[in-house]
Chain A
Amino acid sequence: MNGEHAWKPFRETVDAPMERARAWKEQTGGKVIGHLLPDVPEEIIHAAGALPTAVEGAGTQGTQAQAHIPGYTCSHAMGAIEQGMRHDLDILDGMIIPYVCDTTRNLFHIWNHCFPNKSNEFLRLPKRLDYPGAAEYLKAEFSRLADSLCNITGRPRDDEDLAASIALYDRSRAALRNAYRKQREQPAVWTSERVQTLFKSAAKAPREDHLRWMEALPWDEQSQDAMQRVPIYVRGKVWDPPGILDLFDKIGLLVVEDEMTTGYRGVATDAGSDGDPIDVLVRRHLSLTPYTGYHQQPDKLVSGFLERVQGSGAQGVIFLNPKFCEAAGFDTPDFQKALENAGIPSLVLESSSRGVSLEQIRVRVEAFREMIAEDLP
C-alpha cells in the first residue's frame, strides 16, 4: 500500500465512522460504546470487549437538538445530540459522557432523557487534579466504569485484558506521535489535515486495525515543501470548524504542538505497564496536559502553559476557543497576558461551525501569519 491509497482507510473511517462500527459489530457480535471524548479511558471500554467510538458533535449542522438543549451550548455537545436525534448513532449500545464542564454535566441527563434505551454512563472525573484524594477517587470511578461496561458486554472483568488494552493503546499513541513528528519534518506529505485524519480515525476505528493501517503509511516519502511555514502552538478543545487545519496548511502555518483533546494532547502521555492497570490509567489521567474544565492552581496553570509553548519553538499561539464555552474563555486572558509578557504573539479565535464564518477566520489567521512571520512584503 502506498501513496494516496494508504490514507484511504483513515478517510473512510472519518467520513462514515458508524459504518465502520456497524461492520465491526456484524463481524464480532460485540457492543459498540460511544464516548464524548475528553479523557474517557478507551482502554477500559476495549478491555471489556467493546469497540470505543468517539462521538464528535462539532461540525454537525442541524435543527433537532435545539428542542432539547439550550441554543447557547457548544457545538460539540449540541452536535452530539443532533446526531442522536437523526439516528446516526443508533448502532451504539451505550454512551459515556465525561464530566468536564457544566455543559457535559447537564448533557448526561438530557442524553438519558432523549435516549433512554441506551446504556448511558456518566463518568465523574475529578475536577481538582492536584487534590490529594483525586487519585483514590478516580481509581474508584474507573473501577466502577469497568464493572459497568463488563455488565453491558457480559465479559468478566480481567486485569490481564486491561493491561493488554493499555499496551495496545500505548503502541497506537506512539505511532500517532511519530506521525505528528513527521508533520513537522515533512509538512508537504504529512499535512496537518492528513495527520488530523489519523488522529480522528484512531478514536473511531478498531485500534488494532488502525495500527496496522498506520504501518502501511509512506513513512519514508519525502517532498520538498515550497512554503515558508511559520510554527504555531494551538490551545483549544476540538478542531472546529472542520476546515481549520486545511486553512492553516494553505496559509503556511505549521502546528508544532497543540492541546486539543482530538489532537496531540490525547497521545502525548503513555500509560505504561508499571503496576495495577487501573492505577496506571489513573496516573496517566493525572499527568495529562490540564484540560480547560479542570481546576488548577492558576499560577501553575499559566507557567506550565508558557513552558510548553516556549519548549515547542512556536512563533505564535492560536486559541481556538469554542463558541459558548465559558471555561475556555475564562482561562484565555491569563494565558494571553503571560504570552505578551514573554513577547509571544497570540490570536483568539472564537471557533464553531455554527454561526462563525471560515472566511472571517481566514482574514484573521492570514493577518496573524503576516504579523508573526515578519516576511512582508
Chain B
Amino acid sequence: MIVAGCDVGSLSGEAVILKDNSILTYEIMRVRPRPEQTAQDVMIKALSKADLTLADLDYCVSTGYGREKIPFAHSSISEISCHGRGAHWANTEVRTVIDIGGQDCKVIRVDKRGYMVDFAMNDKCAAGTGRFLEGMAKALGVSLSEMGPLSFESSSPIGITKTCSVLAQYDVVCMINDGMEVADIAAGINKAMAERISKMTKKVGVRKEVAMTGGVAKNSGVVHGLKKVLDVDIVDLNGVDPQIVGALGAALFAQERAERELRK
C-alpha cells in the first residue's frame, strides 16, 4: 500500500510517501504563492523520486495551513495531531512534542499510542516562530543555517527583550550599529526564542521524552537553549528530518484511513 502525507505551511511545503509503514521518499520545498501549487509541486517531486505518480497513491491526507486547498488529498487533519503522531512514530518514547513552524509554535502532549491528549499554540504574534528567526538572521546578515553554530561562539549572549518581531529586528540593527558581537546577538536571539517557547511548554506540562519538530528544530542554538531552560534532553527522531514530521504524521493517518476503507 502506498500512501502520502502533504503538509503545506506558511514557509515550506513537505510531502512524505509511505510504503507499508516505511518512509519511501520525501521532499521539502519553499512555498509557492498558492497552497495548491505548493502541494502539487512538492508531491510530484517526492513521487518522482520513487518513479511514482499521483495515480499510484492509495490515500493522501493533507495538513498545515493549506490543508483544505489540496485537490488530490482524500481528507485533512490538523497539523497539531499530525506532528504528535509523526514524532511518536519516529521515537515511540516521545510524550511531548515542541513544533516550531514558520508562523506558529505548538506544544503537543501525546499518549503512548501517539494520539494527542493536550496542546498549546501561540496566538499573539510571530514571536518565537521560524518567521521571527528568519527576520533576525536577515538583520544579522547571516543565513538561517548559520544561526545555530554562530551562537555557540558567543561568550556573553545579549538579552533580547522585545516580543514583537519587527521591534526585535530594530533592536538587533541597533546592536550591530553599536558594534556588538554578531555571535552574542545570535546567541541572545536563540535564547529569547527558547525562553518564549519554554513558557508555552510549561503550560502543557513537560512529560519525557521531549522531541522537537519543524524547521526550527534544525537550529542547534534554539535546541540547546530549550534543553537548558526546560532542563530536559531533546531526544533524537532516529534519523527522521524534523521538518517532515507533520507530513509524516499525515501519511501515517493516511495509511490507517486507507486500511479502514479496505476493511469496509
What is the interface of chain A, defined by CB distance below 8 A to chain B? 345, 349-350, 356, 359-360, 363-364, 366-367, 370-371, 374, 376-377
Q: Please give me the residue from chain B that is nearest to A356 by CB atom.
A: B123
Partner of B65, one of A349, A359, A367, A377: A359
Nearest CB in chain A: distance from B176 CB, A: 30
Q: Roughly how many angstroms separate A359 CA and B78 CA in the complex, as a whole number?
A: 12
CB-CB under 8 A from A360, the residues of chain B are 104, 121, 123
Known: A350-B123, A363-B121, A376-B115. Is A370-B256 also a contact (CB below 8 A)?
no
Residue with the highest number of chain B CB atoms closer than 10 Å, among A359, A374, A377: A377
Nearest CB in chain B: distance from A316 CB, A: 12
CB-CB under 8 A from A376, the residues of chain B are 77, 81, 115, 253
Contact A367 B123 (CB under 8 A): no
Interface size on B, residues (CB 8 A): 18
Give chain B interface residues in 32-81, CB to chain A under 8 Å.
65, 77-81
Q: Please give me the residue from chain B that is nearest to A351 by CB atom.
A: B123
Nearest CB in chain B: distance from A236 CB, A: 15
Q: Roughly how many angstroms separate A80 CA and B182 CA in the complex, as a whole number?
A: 49
Partner of B256, one of A349, A350, A374, A377: A377
Q: Roughly how many angstroms separate A349 CA and B81 CA in the complex, as a whole number?
A: 18
Contact A374 B121 (CB under 8 A): no
Provide the main secondary structure of the chain B interface: mixed
**New A-B contacts (19) at CB < 8 Å, excluding given A363-B121, A364-B80:** A345-B118, A359-B65, A360-B104, A363-B79, A363-B104, A364-B119, A364-B121, A366-B78, A367-B80, A367-B81, A370-B77, A370-B80, A370-B81, A370-B116, A371-B81, A374-B115, A376-B77, A376-B253, A377-B77
**Interface residue? B117 (CB, 8 A):** yes
Contact B121 A371 (CB under 8 A): no
Q: Could you pull out 22 A-B pairs where Cβ atoms are within 8 angstroms?
A: A349-B123, A350-B123, A356-B123, A360-B121, A363-B79, A363-B104, A363-B121, A364-B119, A364-B121, A366-B78, A367-B119, A370-B77, A370-B80, A370-B116, A371-B115, A371-B116, A371-B117, A374-B115, A376-B77, A376-B115, A376-B253, A377-B260
Q: Please give me the residue from chain B that is nearest to A362 by CB atom.
A: B78
Q: Roughly how many angstroms separate A371 CA and B82 CA in the complex, as a whole number?
A: 12
CB-CB under 8 A from A364, the residues of chain B are 80, 119, 121, 123
CB-CB under 8 A from A374, the residues of chain B are 115
Residue with the highest number of chain B CB atoms closer than 10 Å, among A350, A359, A371: A371
**Interface residue? B257 (CB, 8 A):** yes
CB-CB under 8 A from B121, the residues of chain A are 360, 363-364, 367
Q: Roughly how many angstroms separate A360 CA and B101 CA in the complex, as a whole number?
A: 13
Q: Roughly how many angstroms separate A360 CA and B256 CA in the complex, as a whole number?
A: 27
Q: Roughly how many angstroms separate A345 CA and B104 CA in the complex, as a whole number?
A: 22
